[in-house]
Amino acid sequence: MAGIVRPFPIYLNGEKVAEAMSSTEDRTVNAENQYGVDGVVAQSIGADEIKLDFDAIILITGMTLSVSIDDLLGTPVAVGMIRNGVMMQSSGVLSTSNYTSDSKSGKGSAKFTFIGGEPTFL
């Protein structure tokens, strides 16, 4: 059966980041083996957390957010994205930004990293 494939939309505080080009989302529950005298006896489940890296095209006039994304760095935000056909949302912070430009191609882009806690699926 043929399906539709497209980039995952990313939302910051409920507002779509329309210029997002690519993204990588990592989720972990920080599980670890627990060891006894005879070896592995169980697994512990730690904190559920996510990390989202995304690349965005940066227009000369800036991104189309109502607030500058640079003003959001280090402040609490909610991030949402479609994950396996369901909206996933998490609260956390944008922790890094990295801007690049290329005078030959005229391309301007940025990479952002979001870290957050346990996601909810809407």
Q: How far is CA 43 from CA 32, 37, 38, in A?
A: 5, 15, 14
More confident residue, 37 or 13: 37
Residue indicated by tokens 């189309």:
64
**pLDDT value at residue 20:** 79
Give which of 81, 82, 83, 55 is closest to 69, Cα–Cα.
55
Whether residue 64 is predicted with pLDDT greater than 70 in this model: the reply is: no
- Total-model pTM: 0.83
| Mean pLDDT in residue range 42-51 | 96
> What would the pLDDT profile of 94-103 be if each residue is shown by its tens digit?
999 999 999 9
Specify the fold of 10-121.
Answer: Elongation Factor Tu (Ef-tu); domain 3 (2.40.30)
Q: What percent of the chain has pLDDT over 70?
A: 93
